[in-house]
Chain A
Amino acid sequence: MEQTLLAAALAVVAAAGVAAAVLLARQRRLTAELRDQNAVLAAGVELRDKELRHLAAVRLPELMDSLHNPGMRVAGPLHDLTRKAPAYGQSLQTVMDLFAGSADQVRARADQSAKATLRAMMRAVQSLANEQQLAISTMQDRHDDPEVLDGLLRIDHMNAQLGRRAQATAVLCGSWPGQQRSASSMTDVVRGATSRIRDYLRINLEGPVNTAITSRAVEPVVLTLAELLDNAARHSRPDTAVEVNFRTAHNGVAITIDDAGVAMDAEELQRATELLSGEASADVHRLGDPPRVGFAVAGVLAARYGFTVSVDSRSPYGGVRAVVFVPSALLADVPDDPRARPAASGAGAERARSAAAPDAPSTEHGLPKRSRVAVADRTPEPDEPDTADAPAPAAWAEPARPARETAAGLGAWQRGTRSGRAGTPPAGTPVPPPGVEGKDLRP
């Protein structure tokens, strides 16, 4: 009895032990599983935590910088999120995209309004500079005292630079260069550009070229050349010259500008090429301080009018060689200049005829032009066909006016003088002598 009880108890204990052991083993397995799961979850949370911190501290700021500086690389996520947490990675990317999109929009809007304001301001400055230029030109015509002229030339030079600055800024802000000009010879275009820069005396123009630029492209090319020449002069020593050359190609003309300054490094060159291609939109926020507008303006104008500007070659003097290539479409024949011919070679014969005669020299508006008096002892030059049939001495041999006509003229003059004196007080305007004709050059 006792033994059976003991055996039963032992069996119970053994069963309980076995059960406990089984339970314990299961428990341990469960615990291990849970611990593993926990570890995975903790790692996941830590990964997301790190990614989020990385996003806030590194990726978004870099993204913001890259909007101002397109060449910059933006850091990616720290971990391989597409494998570890695809949904999370996707969400982060959405945040990045939204951020970039809205920042871009804000920037574009700010850029637009800044450009509109600048454009309006520059328009006022430009028109003032133009008016001032006209006033200066009028004064230059009026005063031929060297002292006054010296001051006027200096004011004119400064005003030309002022006008160029305003014009360049306006162009950068999307405005047109303004100033419609007639087709001008290549030489005039380069010299026009030279007029508008500070160190104009250092520009050395080599050899003429027998082409002109069509009227609509004159001002843009002048402005582009002015900016490039100014860059060249500013980035080279003041005692060196800037050489300008023309090279005729089969489909256009290349204008090369060589300076003896410092060459650009790779980064500057890349930025310049980007700006000159005209593809990168010129951004008024990214011009730097002091603003560097030269290449940006050249790029905008080149893209708009169809010529090309490049600065990627070295000049033989060690500096930069800028090349402006003007295609045939923007070229024209040299404008015919009637004044380039020797003026009124048959002057002696022509002078005797009536000023209203059909073959008398006249201006383009049909007004008779004063032809000059030949020097009496001058012999006609053999290369002038006009003088062969009507030599100068013939003018003196021809019969004088009919005496009656002269008398009538004198009488009219006398009557006019008398009536003029009778009408006005003697302090009035003096009667001009009868022989004076032609325009008064000194008002």
Chain B
Amino acid sequence: MSRRRNERALVRPHVVTGGRAHPSRNVFDLVTLVISAGDLPRTGLSPEKLRIVELCRGGALSVAEIAGHLSLPVGVTKVLLSDLVDSGHLTTRAPAPAARPSRTRLLQEVLDGLRASL
């Protein structure tokens, strides 16, 4: 489904979400991390939801990244993600834990750099 930029999507977003634009829970922003929550049966999931579950199997992904992978608008992705969280396929995680180790390392690098330039 790697389509050219000017090719219209065959399946329009209203079919993807069943006409819904409001996510069932308001917990997502662009950088919310989503991870897979165990192996629940995937029967009855729409192709897009299956893809999301498949994508998240490898680790945490941000909402923006999932939307990019699926070539879907972020608003539509949020509706799908909240459905999947409701059904227990996914859980959300605030982005903070991922940022902490890298911040320490960055600070260490800045310190080293400053020392070297002095």
Contacts and interface: CB of A to CB of B under 8 A. Distances in A.
B12 A157 contact: yes
Interface in B1-52: 1-3, 6-15, 17-19, 21-23, 30, 33, 35, 47, 51
Nearest to A187: B47
Contacts of A396: 101, 105
A441 B74 contact: yes
B2 A337 contact: yes
Contacts of A341: 54
Contacts of A194: 15
Nearest to A194: B15
A154 B21 CA distance: 10
B8 A134 contact: yes
Interface in B53-77: 54-62, 64-65, 67-70, 73-76
Contacts of A256: none
A343 interface: yes
A339 interface: yes
B9 A137 contact: yes
A400 interface: yes
A443 interface: no
Contact of B98 (A130, A179, A370, A375): A375
Contact of B105 (A181, A347, A370, A400): A400
Contact of A160 (B12, B17, B109, B110): B12
Interface string A4-40: 0000000000000000000000000000000000000
A371 B11 CA distance: 27
Nearest to A182: B3
Contact of B2 (A134, A153, A364, A378): A364
A156 B72 CA distance: 14
A191 interface: yes
A202 to B, nearest CB: 11
A143 B35 CA distance: 24
Interface in B94-111: 97-98, 100-102, 105-106, 108-110
B30 A442 contact: yes
B15 A339 contact: no
A141 B78 CA distance: 12
B97 A377 contact: yes
B75 A145 contact: yes
A338 B2 CA distance: 8
Contacts of A441: 30, 64, 67-68, 74
A335 interface: yes
Contacts of A238: none
| B: interface residue count bin | 35 or more
B88 to A, nearest CB: 18
Most buried by A among B35, B68, B97, B106: B68
Most buried by A among B11, B54, B60, B70: B11
Given A137-B9, A441-B30, A406 B116 contact: yes
A150 B11 contact: no
Interface in A140-193: 140-141, 143-150, 152-154, 156-157, 160, 179, 181-182, 184-185, 187-189, 191-192
B113 A410 contact: yes
Contact of B109 (A153, A156, A384, A401): A401
Nearest to A160: B12
A345 B60 CA distance: 10
A250 interface: no
B7 A406 contact: no
Query: Which 4 A/B pairs are nearest by Cβ-Cβ distance?
Result: A342-B58, A406-B113, A150-B21, A192-B10
22 contacts: A144-B78, A147-B21, A156-B13, A179-B8, A188-B10, A222-B10, A337-B1, A339-B1, A339-B69, A343-B58, A345-B58, A376-B100, A396-B105, A403-B112, A406-B109, A406-B113, A406-B116, A407-B114, A407-B117, A410-B113, A410-B114, A442-B30
Interface of A: 130, 133-134, 137, 140-141, 143-150, 152-154, 156-157, 160, 179, 181-182, 184-185, 187-189, 191-192, 194-196, 200-201, 208, 218, 222, 335, 337-345, 347, 364, 370, 372-378, 381, 384, 396, 400-401, 403-404, 406-407, 409-411, 435, 439, 441-442
Given A146-B22, A191-B47, A339-B2, 14 more contacts: A182-B3, A182-B7, A188-B1, A191-B15, A195-B12, A200-B19, A342-B54, A343-B55, A372-B61, A374-B98, A375-B98, A376-B98, A407-B113, A410-B113
